[in-house]
Structure 1
Amino acid sequence: MTNHIPAASLAAYTTGDPALDDTAVWTIEVHLENCPDCRAQLAAVAPEPLTALLDDVQVMIDRGVRTGPEPVRRRAWRRLAHRWAMWSLIPWLVTIVAAVLAAFALDRSFPERPSLVLLLAPVAPLAGMASAWSRRTDPGWEITAGTSRAGLELLLRRTAVILAVVLPPLALAGWRLGTTPALWLLPALTFTAATLLLGGRIGVVRAAAVLGGSWFLVVVAPALVTADMPALIEPSSTPGWVVAAVVGAALAIWRVDDHRRNA
């Protein structure tokens, strides 16, 4: 086979003759890749079923190229769920709710100590926000981050979902403990707005870690060690939280374009 494939070998190849070993088949296929004459001869001696199969494949490929792939049909509730949340958020939200319930149980068991529910309330939404905008937990992070406007809107929608899940157990725990709603609602909203504001500069995950870590180090840890109620969660601190929540929300809206540049 110095020039062309012998007719007998080509006929054996087209019919799949088991007498041809792997080396002979490989040699024939390598030659066919570089020899248009032998390819033409192969087409001439190919059996009718093989020729018909190749014609059908070509027709299917041409039709697919012209029409394109069929759109994936999803149920309306799945499309709505993907626009507002993602499956990887569920374990984090369950963990947050469980933490609030555990804090409530400890507060009922040890009423003389600082309220863990009030200490946890400001940072309760932050773990969910970090998970909602993390490349490690969101399988579609590259797509949303690459489309700045879509990524921003998705972040805001997921933040709304997180608050809708986290705030009801906080409300129930605060009501059962007899605390004013302002002491858990305003801190939670303030830290959420602060995370959005700072997240536009350094990223939401880092912002949630910085704010949450600072709160635990400066407020929660000393309160647990000294067993004294921090001034930041006393009723007298409510006006300060009102101002912080309003200012934080206003600044987050004013600096919303930061997320488009740093998605």
Structure 2
Amino acid sequence: MTTHPNPEIIARYADRHTILDEVTAWSVEAHLEQCSGCRALVAEHLPDPSNDLLARIGADIDTIVATEPAPVRRRRFWAAHQRWFVWHLTPWLIMTMAVLGCAVLLQTLFPSLPSLVTLLAPVAPLPGVAVAWSRRHDPAWELLATTPAAGLGMLLRRTAAILAVVVPALALASAGSGAPLALALLPSLGFTTATIALGTFIGVQRATYVLGGAWALTALLPVLLTADLPVMLRPASSPAWALGTLVVAGVVAWRSHHLRGLSSHY
């Protein structure tokens, strides 16, 4: 017949403030390994650790709430700007407007030159678009790339923010230099849309480099050699630019699923 420890000894064993001699503690522990009834009796004498822990956590939280300053509600503007704008875009947009300003100044000083504003209009938004979704220029890139807000919607919002700055600048530059407004805005929108479309295949940043380099070779270089605007920048080409922009926009809509899971090169 098994001899059970005295209930008083079990109570003393369960009390963390009471120290039993080594022989008694060893005998109680050896018995507890075989006796579920005594283990239940020990459990009855133990304090509930969860209650103790919750009480301490609650006390700590009450202390923090009482001593820390009250939280300040974040303004909605600052919450929204992260979805629409990256502050690292600011120097690039300033540079774009400065280049357009220099083009207007040169056109004023040298009226015989081909329209510099018209030449620069297609590629004016491209530096901003390249930076709009770049892990190098966006401190929160890793966070945004893993959220549902990332993807085509994020890219389009940031591109819209770029165009909201570049398009008025192009309109002012066109008015200041006498260049046709349609030939400043339509090629700009067309190249921006083409960048996003090509970005679904090779990444948006790479697309800006490819399209910018292609424009330099097919338009800027011939102008330096002939001192005359190419055919695609003459007034009769406006309908072609409008149609091309619509076609490329359709490609963006068709390929939009490729921009929902952005990787590093996007």
Return the TM-score normalized by structure 1.
0.71
| Code of the aligned partner of 1:125 | P
The 1:209–1:61 alpha-carbon spacing in structure 2 relative to 1, beyond 3 Å, is farther
- In structure 1, the partner of 2:141 is 141
Matched, 1:200 2:191: no
Task: After superposition, give the CA deviation of every residue in 1:13-65 in whole Å (9 maximum; x if it has no partner).
Answer: xxxxxxxxxxxxxxxxxxxxxxxxxxx9xxxxxxxxxxxxxx9xx9359855x
- In structure 2, the partner of 1:94 is 94
The 1:148–1:170 alpha-carbon spacing in structure 2 relative to 1, beyond 3 Å, is same
Matched, 1:245 2:245: yes
The 1:106–1:146 alpha-carbon spacing in structure 2 relative to 1, beyond 3 Å, is same
The 1:75–1:173 alpha-carbon spacing in structure 2 relative to 1, beyond 3 Å, is same
Contact 1:117 1:174 in 2 (8 A): yes
- In structure 2, the partner of 1:17 is none
The 1:72–1:131 alpha-carbon spacing in structure 2 relative to 1, beyond 3 Å, is farther
Matched, 1:151 2:151: yes
Distance 2:74 2:233 in 1: 46
Decide which structure has the larger Cα Rg and report it: 2
- In structure 1, the partner of 2:222 is 222
Contact 1:201 1:262 in 2 (8 A): no
The 1:61–1:171 alpha-carbon spacing in structure 2 relative to 1, beyond 3 Å, is same
Gaps of 5+ in 1: 1-39, 41-54
Distance 1:201 1:133 in 2: 15
- In structure 1, the partner of 2:56 is 59
Distance 1:153 1:258 in 2: 12
CA drift of 1:210 comes to 0.6
Give the helix-richer structure, 1 or 2: 1
CA drift of 1:262 comes to 4.0
Matched, 1:125 2:122: no
Contact 1:130 1:208 in 2 (8 A): yes
| Code of the aligned partner of 1:219 | A
Task: After superposition, give the CA deviation of every residue in 1:219-257 in whole Å (9 maximum; x if it has no partner).
Answer: 112212321221111112112111111111121122111
Distance 1:167 1:91 in 2: 17
Task: After superposition, give the CA deviation of every residue in 1:110-159 in whole Å (9 maximum; x if it has no partner).
Answer: 22111111011001111000011111101111122223653332211110
| Code of the aligned partner of 2:185 | L
| Code of the aligned partner of 2:153 | E
Counterparts in 2 of 1:152-167, with a 5 A limit? Answer: 152-167=152-167
The 1:226–1:62 alpha-carbon spacing in structure 2 relative to 1, beyond 3 Å, is farther
The 1:196–1:59 alpha-carbon spacing in structure 2 relative to 1, beyond 3 Å, is same
Contact 2:117 2:179 in 1 (8 A): no
Task: After superposition, give the CA deviation of every residue in 1:84-109 in whole Å (9 maximum; x if it has no partner).
Answer: 10211111111111111111111111
- In structure 2, the partner of 1:259 is 259
Other structure's SS at 2:136 match: coil
Matched, 1:188 2:188: yes
Contact 1:122 1:189 in 2 (8 A): yes
Contact 2:151 2:262 in 1 (8 A): no
Other structure's SS at 1:229 match: coil
Distance 2:153 2:133 in 1: 12
Distance 2:258 2:131 in 1: 19
Other structure's SS at 2:260 match: helix
Contact 2:117 2:177 in 1 (8 A): no
Contact 1:203 1:262 in 2 (8 A): no
Return the TM-score normalized by structure 2.
0.71
Distance 1:202 1:262 in 2: 12
The 1:148–1:195 alpha-carbon spacing in structure 2 relative to 1, beyond 3 Å, is farther
CA drift of 1:211 comes to 0.5
- In structure 2, the partner of 1:111 is 111
Counterparts in 2 of 1:74-85, with a 5 A limit? Answer: 74-85=74-85
Identity %: 50
- In structure 2, the partner of 1:35 is none
